[in-house]
């Protein structure tokens, strides 16, 4: 009987020892792993934050202080310390998650406002219509309206006549149409069976009336429309005359030279060559003037001695040609 009780006691002790051994071994293993991790963190802190050069930065990772145990309270175990640390990490994760959700919600609201566009500005309201009192104040109390009460004494400020506003200067009258325009319109354009001749004749009439710019425009139009017309030589020569009489010898010389070179046997080729010398003389180009006069006297000797002799002699006067 005694031996049976001893065997039962021994078996119970063996069971307790066998069950406690794995738990003790597990606690020891967990504590060793945590101690190793904490040691590595402290080593990393010593490497990153040495603190030996006077510039010490408080590390963000620090070892947790050992829990203070109250007398009579149960001593903490490695497993309880691990659970405490896990609770702290979970609390931090919860706070971070809440912040992320709040920021996400704010960003979504901003995006919705931006997507909806900027709200339209409030419409500008028209000013209210001026009341009668406002009109009185602006006009010095002289606005016309029937009086509904007793008249105001003449010596009161309201009855004093207001200073009349400064007189606005009268607008200047618009200038009447130019008399030159009316005079040009008064020149009648010929209307015959020969439209080309009508164009030339109209240019001649403008030149004869001393409307030189208008004559230049009309003769250019004639030469553009009818370059092969029988009076083309007359038109080019007259166009040069219109520029020369308009005190533009440089442009005149171009048309005189063109007319001479285009058709040396043209009706007005001799005139153009002689007037080319005139233009060069006005431009004070003696050399070219003498060349033009020499060519004219040689090519058109009969004209130099006859119809154009007066202009030829007057042009030679004052020139020293070799």
Give the number of other Cβ atoms within 10 Å of residue 31's Cβ. 15
* 243 lies in some domain: yes
How many residues in total does the chain contain?
A: 322
Asked whether residue 283 is assigned to any structural domain, the reply reads: yes
Whether residue 193 is contained in a domain is answered as yes
215-237, pLDDT tens digit by residue? 999 999 999 999 999 999 999 99
CATH code for the domain of 293:
1.25.40.10
Look at the chain and report how many structural domains it folds into: 1
Give the lowest-confidence range in 28-42, 100-114, 135-149. 135-149
Instruction: For residue 188, give its domain range.
Output: 184-316
Residue 69 domain-assigned (yes or no)? no
- Residues 87-94: contacts with CB under 8 Å, at least 24 apart: none
Question: Is 252 contained in some domain?
Answer: yes
pLDDT tens by residue, 110-145: 887 777 654 444 444 444 444 444 434 444 444 444
Q: Is residue 162 one of the residues assigned to a domain? A: no
Q: Is 306 helix (H, G, I), strand (E, B) or coil?
A: coil
List pLDDT tens digits, range 144-187: 443 444 444 444 444 444 455 555 555 555 444 568 899 999 99
Q: Residue 247 pLDDT more than 90?
A: yes
In a domain, 273, yes or no: yes
235: closest CA among 198, 210, 194? 198
> Is residue 275 pLDDT above 70, yes or no?
yes
Cβ proximity of 306 and 274 under 8 Å:
no
Predicted model pTM: 0.47
Give CA–CA dist 4/121, Å, rounded: 101
Q: Is the pLDDT of residue 73 over 60?
A: no
* Residue 196 resides in a domain: yes
Which has the higher per-residue pLDDT, 37 or 100?
100
């Amino acid at each position: 009987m005694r031996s049976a009780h001893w065997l039962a006691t021994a078996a119970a002790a063996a069971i307790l020892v066998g069950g406690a051994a794995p738990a003790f071994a597990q606690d020891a293993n967990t504590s060793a792993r945590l101690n190793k991790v904490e040691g590595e963190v402290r080593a990393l802190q010593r490497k990153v934050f040495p603190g030996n050069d006077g510039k010490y930065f408080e590390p963000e990772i620090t070892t947790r202080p050992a829990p203070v145990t109250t007398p009579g309270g149960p001593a903490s175990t490695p497993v309880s310390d691990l659970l405490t640390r896990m609770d702290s990490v979970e609390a931090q994760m919860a706070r971070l998650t809440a912040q992320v959700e709040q920021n996400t919600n704010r960003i979504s609201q901003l995006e919705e406002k931006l997507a909806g566009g900027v709200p339209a500005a409030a419409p500008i309201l028209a000013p209210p219509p001026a009341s009668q009192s406002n009109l009185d104040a602006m006009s010095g109390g002289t606005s016309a309206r029937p009086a509904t009460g007793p008249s105001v004494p003449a010596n009161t400020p309201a009855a004093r006549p207001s200073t009349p506003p400064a007189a606005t200067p009268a607008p200047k009258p618009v200038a009447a149409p130019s008399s030159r325009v009316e005079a040009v319109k008064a020149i009648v354009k010929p209307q015959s069976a020969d439209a080309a001749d009508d164009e030339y004749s109209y240019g001649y009439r403008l030149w004869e009336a001393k409307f030189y710019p208008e004559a230049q425009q009309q003769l250019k139009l004639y030469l553009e429309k009818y370059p092969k017309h029988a009076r083309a030589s007359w038109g080019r020569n007259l166009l040069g005359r219109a520029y020369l009489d308009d005190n533009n010898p440089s442009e005149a010389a171009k048309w005189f030279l063109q007319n001479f070179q285009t058709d040396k046997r043209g009706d007005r080729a001799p005139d153009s060559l002689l007037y080319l010398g005139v233009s060069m003389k006005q431009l004070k180009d003696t050399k070219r003037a003498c060349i033009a006069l020499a060519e004219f006297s040689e090519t058109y000797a009969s004209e130099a001695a006859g119809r154009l002799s007066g202009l030829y002699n007057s042009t030679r006067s004052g020139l020293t040609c070799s």
